[in-house]
Structure 1
Amino acid sequence: MSQSGPRPGRWRLVVVGGGSAAAIQVRRGDVPPQEVLVVAERLGTGMAFLGRSTLQSYAGELLLSGRSEELRAMMRAGDLRPSASEYDAYVQESLMRSGASVTLARVMDIQKNAQGFVLSLRTPGGVRRQVYADGVVLATGSTPRRPPEDLRAAGALTYDVVHRELAAGSSRRWEGMSVVIAGAGNSAMQTASLMAPDARDVTILANRYVGMYPAESDDRFAWRAPSQLAYELVVKSSRECGRQPWNVPCVRHLVHESLEADGDRIRWRYRETSNLGVLGSHSTAGRCRHAQARRVGGEDADGLWEETRPRDSVVVVWATGCTPVYPPGELMGSLEREPDGTVRRDAHGRTDVPGLHVTGACAGQRSVNETAPALTRAPAAPAQGREPELAVERATV
């Protein structure tokens, strides 16, 4: 097929991704949806693995357009927040009804030439095809951050695995085990409360004390409603752990300095001076029967404590946030990255490749109500001679 001039399969804009950022780009962006092709392996939010769990944000903070009734139609009457599954359905419906065309496929490569972009796709059935675009927006979301190599070798899980196994009704591999969760945010707190009923004990190892929003922090990404349960368990644990009858799962929260797998042991260290706040004061050595710690480094170690557990008695869960995901290929690999893994871009989501933009997690936007469509600067008129893309049948989503 010739690369010059208008041709079948050419789009004014291709949005790569099928989540909330893609829906916001399509519905709020400056390119009419009828001139947009959405390419995604799956339609729906990356939070779908949370299942029936209630999301942190209120419904009004999660809107993909100005029409609140679209989300409300997916929610149970009287609820202030949607569940993850309700929101997933909302994102799917928002894209299906947007007017954009949708193709379920994996992007295998993106190339740039003088006429625009060439995207190589592979469908779920293994069919390979190419589409052409004047502009591309990456709205590919993020994936849970992986644990360090030594902890992966020790069998560490990412927090989404816990949610997926619970949703599938799998046996609790952490039953009767000590659970160690690395993370400071809502993911760590919620995972702790999910695992606590079956675990021997749970220790959350954070890099800082975050606090409850808005009582202790004005950061709206701090702990919110579902995290309150873990917060309460930490305080109750120090008061009730070891009492008869013992009715409360033991959960601790420590600001730690290190966590590592060392031979047949899992080891973590923390300073007493870093844990004098609301939760740390309930979790240091001597506060509950599970805090079996020893002081290390001598008197000049500023209250440095170490705890170890046999490797075969511990399940480590990594809940330290997410990293953006991008399609493979040489062009993607050449893009400059920021320290947080996002692509270097300007305030409008423009990368150093003209016509290639990012939005959502790829642009460092941390929530739906912080997500803004990329300024695509697309041509004023659509390319002619485009072959219409058939909308995805609802049953295939």
Structure 2
Amino acid sequence: MGVRANRTSAGEADPVAALPGHDKARTLRRQGSGMYRFSETGRCWRLVVIGGGSAAAIQVRQGDVPPQDTLVIADRLGTGMEFLEDFTLQSYADELRLSRHQETSRLGVTGQLRPSAAQFDAYVRESLLGSGATLKSARVLEVEGEAGMFLLHVLNGDGRMSYERAEAVVLATGSTPRTPPPGWAEAGAVSHDVVHREHARHRTSRWAGRTVLVVGSGNSAMQVASLVASEAAEVVVLGNRYVGMFPTENPDKYGWRAPSQLACELVAKSALECGRPGWHTTCVRHLVYERLDVRDGEITWTYKAEDNRNPLGSRSLSGRCRHARGRLIGEGGSAWEESRRAEETAVVWATGSEPVLPGGSLIESLARQADGSLLTDEAGRTSVDGVHALGACAGQRAVNETTPALVRGRLPLPKLLAGRGVPVESEVPA
């Protein structure tokens, strides 16, 4: 199968996945009325926040509904980056503050500009535990509209189902790393979070002594490259574009930062030293690629010199060292092609993330942005009256740019989409 570079954009087991049928909530309901129980509170909440990460904490601490009128439902309190563990985050501590109060001292120790993922995870959890909201350890499987309110189907920790009712719902459900396309998954490719989890447990056999192809352009790809470089035979980052370092090459704050800088250094250093006596560090390259294929036990990628006239690509072209051995292809030899044996290669997918959302027709009907995240206005209102969203599931990429949804106002879909030049039907995935 083949993958063409898109020039326009960048495990834990699921306890519900074992349930038969596509609609898990209704499957459980059909198994008998004894499977359901109503909430012990017996109330209709003014607001239910679905999610237990930084966006949920921002909503509870900064939103316009008092915490005592808010129910937070999450199967885990903390961030979606817990798999990074002691890995240093790219954001500064002050950029990760969850409320208007000075809490940054709890994010790390003196002298640390950036906290680790584990430190931020603990900070988010403590923030929610001390917020004054009611917290429920469970998973929302479906959200239904009911007489101007909402009915939430909840899978509890003991495996039984219950309902919760709410006047308004805020989705703060976050996102998850994109998984490799089916053909690549069958060939053994994994998403980048798998590499971090295995590395934290000192399980490096997936990439040790092998060629590692990291597919992606952003920080996730570059950080994986630096993470596996000490054990891999060679590392090649294959991006659909050149992002560059923040802030020297790219004013976008989401340009390469923190551990990504090590990958840049390794590309430049190995370009000078790979093959010379005394150089034993892994060869690392970065290429803007054209096409990537796996076929008949071979993984092949193509690239053009004209697409790699950047500080890293120009140091990664065919001929730079013994690892970079390509074949000229195309009219007039306009492109290079390289290949590796699939059995000797580990492929890591680091192409961004996709929102994590409850099921049900109401959630499926929500208008989406081109990347699959939920379409909202500046107040966090979605295309369904009374349903709001913030954080990664709404395409917000940074904690300090995430603002709480204002749930006291409602906005119908036509007004939400007015002036955007996007037909309503094209925003809703099939």
TM over 0.5: yes
| CA deviation profile, 1:325-369 (whole Å, cap 9, x unmatched) | 101112112223221101232222212211001101121111101
Partner of 1:193: 226
Task: Point out 4+ residue stretches in structure 1 off by more than 6 angstroms.
Answer: none
Partner of 2:75: 41
From 106, 114, 136, the equivalent of 1:81 is 114
Aligned length: 370
Q: Quote the Cα distance in structure 2 between the aligned partners of 1:127 and 1:9.
A: 19
Partner of 1:182: 215
* CA-CA distance at 1:378 after TM superposition: 6.7
Bigger shift: residues 70-79 or 93-102: 70-79
Letter of the structure 2 residue corresponding to residue 200 of structure 1: A
Q: Quote the Cα distance in structure 2 between the aligned partners of 1:182 and 1:94.
A: 35
The aligned runs of 1:316-335 (5 Å cut-off) are: 316-335=347-366
* CA-CA distance at 1:9 after TM superposition: 2.6
Partner of 1:26: 60
The aligned runs of 1:207-222 (5 Å cut-off) are: 207-222=240-255
Bigger shift: residues 236-245 or 98-107: 236-245
* CA-CA distance at 1:174 after TM superposition: 0.8
* CA-CA distance at 1:172 after TM superposition: 2.7
The aligned runs of 1:73-222 (5 Å cut-off) are: 73-222=106-255
Q: Quote the Cα distance in structure 1 between the aligned partners of 2:409 and 2:139.
A: 24
Q: Quote the Cα distance in structure 2 between the aligned partners of 1:67 and 1:54.
A: 23
Distance 1:358 1:245, change over 3 A: same
2:204–2:231 CA contact under 8 A, matched in 1: no
* CA-CA distance at 1:146 after TM superposition: 1.5
Secondary structure in structure 1 of the residue aligned to 2:195: helix
| CA deviation profile, 1:79-99 (whole Å, cap 9, x unmatched) | 111100000000000000011
From 300, 311, 319, the equivalent of 1:286 is 319
The answer for unaligned runs of 5 or more in structure 1 is: 1-6, 380-397
Letter of the structure 2 residue corresponding to residue 131 of structure 1: E
| CA deviation profile, 1:26-51 (whole Å, cap 9, x unmatched) | 11111011110000010000011100
Q: Quote the Cα distance in structure 1 between the aligned partners of 2:68 and 2:248.
A: 45
Partner of 2:421: none
Q: Quote the Cα distance in structure 2 between the aligned partners of 1:272 and 1:353.
A: 48
Q: Quote the Cα distance in structure 2 between the aligned partners of 1:172 and 1:27.
A: 43
Secondary structure in structure 2 of the residue aligned to 1:238: helix
The aligned runs of 1:353-368 (5 Å cut-off) are: 353-368=384-399
Letter of the structure 1 residue corresponding to residue 87 of structure 2: S
1:107–1:327 CA contact under 8 A, matched in 2: yes
| 2:278 counterpart of 1:245 | yes
Letter of the structure 2 residue corresponding to residue 44 of structure 1: G
Q: Quote the Cα distance in structure 1 between the aligned partners of 2:349 and 2:252.
A: 23
* CA-CA distance at 1:115 after TM superposition: 4.0
Secondary structure in structure 1 of the residue aligned to 2:259: helix
Secondary structure in structure 2 of the residue aligned to 1:256: strand
Q: Quote the Cα distance in structure 2 between the aligned partners of 1:354 and 1:204.
A: 43
Partner of 1:314: 345
Q: Quote the Cα distance in structure 1 between the aligned partners of 2:220 and 2:383.
A: 33
The answer for unaligned runs of 5 or more in structure 2 is: 1-40, 411-430
The aligned runs of 1:227-238 (5 Å cut-off) are: 227-238=260-271
1:31–1:378 CA contact under 8 A, matched in 2: no
* CA-CA distance at 1:217 after TM superposition: 1.0
Identity %: 54
Q: Quote the Cα distance in structure 2 between the aligned partners of 1:344 and 1:277.
A: 34
2:93–2:107 CA contact under 8 A, matched in 1: no
Q: Quote the Cα distance in structure 2 between the aligned partners of 1:353 and 1:228.
A: 42
Secondary structure in structure 2 of the residue aligned to 1:231: helix
From 38, 52, 56, the equivalent of 2:86 is 52
The TM-score, its normalising length taken from structure 2, stands at: 0.84
Bigger shift: residues 265-274 or 344-353: 344-353
| 2:382 counterpart of 1:348 | no
* CA-CA distance at 1:259 after TM superposition: 1.4
Secondary structure in structure 1 of the residue aligned to 2:125: helix
Distance 1:74 1:219, change over 3 A: closer
| CA deviation profile, 1:217-261 (whole Å, cap 9, x unmatched) | 110010112211100000011111111222221100001111121
Q: Quote the Cα distance in structure 1 between the aligned partners of 2:289 and 2:130.
A: 47
Higher relative contact order (CA 8 A, sep 6+): 1
| CA deviation profile, 1:136-181 (whole Å, cap 9, x unmatched) | 0000000001122221111101000000011122243211110000
Partner of 2:45: 11
Q: Quote the Cα distance in structure 2 between the aligned partners of 1:74 and 1:309.
A: 43
Secondary structure in structure 2 of the residue aligned to 1:374: coil
What is the aligned-residue RMSD (CA, Å)? 1.4
1:159–1:319 CA contact under 8 A, matched in 2: yes
From 282, 297, 302, the equivalent of 1:269 is 302
Letter of the structure 1 residue corresponding to residue 367 of structure 2: E
